[in-house]
Amino acid sequence: MQSAELKQFVIDKVEDLKARDIAVLEVSEQSNITDYMVVCSGTSKTHVKAIAENVVLEAKRANLHIHGVEGRDSSEWVLVDLGDVIVHVMQDQTREFYQLEKLWSEKPE
């Protein structure tokens, strides 16, 4: 699956579980480890975990390689690494604190 197709696959899967405020960051110019980051919010720890687990389950069903999953225990921020796309599912307060969209959209001087 090409990175653009994988990005759309991830968006579809987080939308299936009503993830909020989905942002797609194209970071291929800034990172050599991934092409896209998909950042979205869940309404609670349970919702965050469910969104991330849905991505993992559907990726396995599609025979995609999952490089890793981090943060399942606390479920404040769960990261799913699919290689060309990294998914960040966060609670609102965690997302506000880390501001990944701002961090990755700033151009180095």
Q: Which residues pair with 85 in a beta bridge?
A: 36
Per-residue pLDDT reduced to its tens digit, 24-43: 999 998 889 999 999 999 99
- What CATH architecture is 3-101? 2-Layer Sandwich (3.30)
Q: Which of 82, 51, 55, 88 lies closest to 66 in space, CA to CA?
A: 82
- The residue ranges of every structural domain in the chain are 3-101
Per-residue pLDDT reduced to its tens digit, 57-80: 999 999 999 999 999 999 999 999
